[in-house]
Structure 1
Amino acid sequence: MRTAVVFPGLMVCVALLAGCTATAPSRVRVDQAEGGLPNCKTFAWIPTPQQPATLTEQRVKTEVLAKLKEKGYSEAEKADCRVTYVLDVHERPKNKPSVGVGAGGGSGGIGGGIGVSLPIGKRNEQAGTFTIDIVDAAKNAQVWSGSLDATFAKAELNEDEAREIVAKVLERYPDRAPN
């Protein structure tokens, strides 16, 4: 009969290393003015410099206004609140170097090993932070901000990415109370 010997310290190290490689799912971060949100009924975009609108800008604006309308708000030129967004995208390597640790036993012996994986090739992805800011038009002060870290197929958002990311961020913005 063979008996396996387990080293508690080794098992703890393996568990810690495994825990370090896991990534937490992205979640929306919200920050709000201490005085609370103003009684916004209408929204408009903060004017941007006279440059041609990018495809991402057009898609995000369409999705934000659609989502705010679903929540009971409307669009107006002289709005109670103004909205803007920031999309900070950068390229990052998709394949990262990784390290693996293993331990085992058999045939009367105990063995272990460490392996290292180095990616070859240039497969990169676009990663960034998407933020929507709400500004009280009367006070000209930011009153709400929601942001989310995400990865994208390209630096330019497609319609599905814009719809998904806007919905996720504005899910945390309150619905308008009926009059």
Structure 2
Amino acid sequence: MRIAKVVCTATMMAMAAGLAACASGPTIRADADPTVNLSSYKTFGFYEKVSTDRSAYTTLISTRLKEATRTELTKRGYTFTETNPQLLANFNLNIENRQDVQSTPSAGVGVGMGGYYGYRSGMYGVWGGYPQDVETVHYQVGTLAIDLVDAAKKQLVWQGTAEGRINKKAIENPGPAIDSVVGEIFAKYPVPAPGAPAN
């Protein structure tokens, strides 16, 4: 059981870091309650058990996400407190298995555009049923969500998400990658950090 928990935590760390390690970078989205002035809040904290704590203890990924989020909110003038914070932060990570089906001209009748039949390129196509090599590519997409909740009203007031294909390479030092993706999410926050451009 202990080994399974460690493996799960390592997978979540790799996923969060993998979001920042994508070649094209993750897709970042953010949305806010239009009736709420986020600059009116002064203090923040974290849920006692955030959604990334799926076990009976705080995971390493939760600790990393809290540290990065605390840094971003502090830069924006908010004060961290454990006593009656106005905003509460929560996190969620999700992994989804996906697949793409790709077809290319059969290697037996010419290798792509550079093979024997490359002379056709741009001049004319082939008939339906022309031999094709079909390949199914399996991969994983990770989504990290950061929620900010009005503690008094128990209402979501802002959410930022990052979605990207998970890098399968071993991630030796996930800390800076997690800091990076959290920073990219908060770049969409309506209250900018000093020196940062307003959204």
Runs of 4+ in 1 over 4 A off after TM superposition: 100-106, 113-120
Which residue of 1 is the match for residue 85 of structure 2? 79
Q: Equivalent of 1:53, from 54, 58, 66?
A: 58
CA positional deviation for 1:34: 3.1
Structure 1's 115 and 168: CA in aligned 2 closer, same or farther, altered over 3 A?
farther
Which residue of 1 is the match for residue 9 of structure 2? none
Alignment partner of 1:162 is 2:178:
yes
Q: Secondary structure at the match of 2:165?
A: strand
TM-score, normalised to structure 1's length?
A: 0.65
Q: Spell out, residue by residue over 1:40-99, the C-alpha distance to the aligned partner (whole angstroms, 9 max, x if none).
A: 111100121782111211111111111111222120112111111111123445xx4423
More strand by share: 1
Identity %: 24
Q: Which has the larger radius of gyration?
A: 1
- What are structure 1's unaligned runs of at least 5 residues? 1-23
Count residues in correspondence. 147
Alignment partner of 1:130 is 2:164:
no
Alignment partner of 1:98 is 2:102:
yes
Q: Secondary structure at the match of 1:87?
A: strand
Q: Secondary structure at the match of 2:180?
A: helix
More helix by share: 2
TM-score, normalised to structure 2's length?
A: 0.59
Asked if the contact 1:85–1:130 (Cα under 8 Å) also holds between the matched residues in 2, the reply is yes
Alignment partner of 1:36 is 2:40:
no
C-alpha RMSD of the superposition: 3.5
Alignment partner of 1:70 is 2:75:
yes
